[in-house]
Structure 1
């Protein structure tokens, strides 16, 4: 990496170099992304199609362009590999992209974006800009074809990086899933074990490095990132306009752990208060009896009986 070309005190440069280091030191089997050697603001990436979907086995390449104000302004994303879900060489309209800067959060990163893209692959497009709605059989055929060779795009430098990323992805999963596209259930993926939230607000299935669901990270992505319909109106409220989506599809609000702890603490406090009141009354009764006995009232009462 040509670090000497850039001002290392620049916030964008510092952030990007930090993400590059993290991507290299903590690689994933599900995605890989690196910037160009001569331009760290342009990244090439590849994501793996999510398991148990028509995209399984596919390797989908794309391009990320980071703005000079990153991470305070969002990047743009495009897919380069035909996939049947997103148009190729067209900027994708997500709440993590520059189409909707009012939704962007500086805490999000290239890694966050790649996880989100994998999550969105099996969901309904709902009219979002740059989305496609191919049949599952067509998408499965494209997934198999995507493994044959990396897409051709741009300069020799770009192509070299694309080819290297493709080889890396193949090395992590050399075999193609052995099943027919006819075996895919016509059931809405949103209703399959609650794995996918299929709506204009986004999806929440996220895989770890071993390919297994990561519920905690998936829930965070579900709550934060949306695929925005083409006719959506930008919200002046900024990031606060993001709506919380339950992976069960229900509108019931689920209390976060801290809220549950506060409720439990409140109940414990009330129980303790009543116990203290009861104990105080018992002590007062005992003191009153002792006072009456010491003053002779107890003897009078005994004689009177």
Structure 2
């Protein structure tokens, strides 16, 4: 390979050094080699990051190194459908040619592949060449990625892709069989939590002068206002609580509202019953007193006036 290129070219020297380093220090998470006919074009494969929906997958891609490498960054594209990056489209990363201001000449193809793996589970945020598939869809693509390598380019490219695929399968662990079920359960749990949060009442969002009707009637009562301010155990009346709610000052605008507690309603009902019994007792006593006076006056007989 070296005989075909000018070894005085800084880019050629750097690339050949990286090829040697990649072969002498292989990784189970990725591998990459240049084409025999063009060392500025590399084929690579990365393993899906662990503990994510990509785990166990084998994703192929292509790296194009510029003639000014390593002083200018490479470009990347994925060839295997993955649900995170578009295929056969140059993707926008801080390590790619879309952001040359971030690139460091000390970085290498190895550095870029490690970074690419780290980017897989991150939020795409609408970046160029990014996708935002659901986790179960990405899991399905991850399983499918192991079946066969992608078809791309010339026979030489395809041969290298096939060799890389076999190597990665020999190093990659099997896709966890329970991952799909777990991901579906996680998605369902997140949907339920989001729905619960959307339906929950946000007390801070209420206007300062607005209250919530009590379910037992049309009363408006304060929440967390009358907590321990009634040592005699006498429950405040509905009218007083309604007045507090309606006349709430700007300084108290943060106060929240809620219905009376069940204990409060029970106590009010008991008070109503006691008041009714007292009223009935008083009415009976008055009737008995009047009856007694009437009977006494009847026992005295008629009174005649002297007509003289």
Q: TM-score range by the shorter chain?
A: 0.5 to 0.7
Question: 1:109-150 CA deviation, whole Å, 9 max, x = no partner?
Answer: 100110011101111001110000000000000000000000
Gaps of 5+ in 1: 189-305
For 2:179, the equivalent position in structure 1 comes to 180
Q: Report the 3-state secondary structure (helix = DSSP H, G, I; strand = E; otherwise coil) of the residue aligned with 2:176.
A: coil
For 1:86, the equivalent position in structure 2 comes to 85
For 1:114, the equivalent position in structure 2 comes to 113
Q: Report the 3-state secondary structure (helix = DSSP H, G, I; strand = E; otherwise coil) of the residue aligned with 1:166.
A: helix
For 2:143, the equivalent position in structure 1 comes to 144
Gaps of 5+ in 2: 191-308
For 1:8, the equivalent position in structure 2 comes to 7
For 1:160, the equivalent position in structure 2 comes to 159
Q: Report the 3-state secondary structure (helix = DSSP H, G, I; strand = E; otherwise coil) of the residue aligned with 2:40.
A: strand
Give TM-score, length-normalised by structure 2. 0.59
Task: Determine if contact 2:53/2:179 at 8 Å carries over to the other structure.
Answer: no
- The size of the alignment, in residue pairs, is 187
Structure 2 CA distance for aligned equivalents of residues 130 and 149 of structure 1: 23
TM-fit CA distance, 1:174 = 5.2
Q: Report the 3-state secondary structure (helix = DSSP H, G, I; strand = E; otherwise coil) of the residue aligned with 1:143.
A: helix
Q: Counterparts of 1:1-305 in structure 2 under 5 Å?
A: 2-173=1-172, 175-184=174-183, 185-186=186-187
Question: 1:172-217 CA deviation, whole Å, 9 max, x = no partner?
Answer: 12523221323134599xxxxxxxxxxxxxxxxxxxxxxxxxxxxx
Give TM-score, length-normalised by structure 1. 0.60
Q: Report the 3-state secondary structure (helix = DSSP H, G, I; strand = E; otherwise coil) of the residue aligned with 2:138.
A: helix
Greater relative contact order: 1 or 2 (C-alpha under 8 angstroms, separation 6 or more)?
1
Q: Report the 3-state secondary structure (helix = DSSP H, G, I; strand = E; otherwise coil) of the residue aligned with 1:46.
A: strand
Q: Report the 3-state secondary structure (helix = DSSP H, G, I; strand = E; otherwise coil) of the residue aligned with 1:39.
A: coil
User: How large is the Cα RMSD of the aligned pairs?
Assistant: 1.3
Q: Report the 3-state secondary structure (helix = DSSP H, G, I; strand = E; otherwise coil) of the residue aligned with 1:40.
A: coil
Task: Determine if contact 2:94/2:102 at 8 Å carries over to the other structure.
Answer: yes
For 1:197, the equivalent position in structure 2 comes to none
Greater Rg over alpha carbons, structure: 2
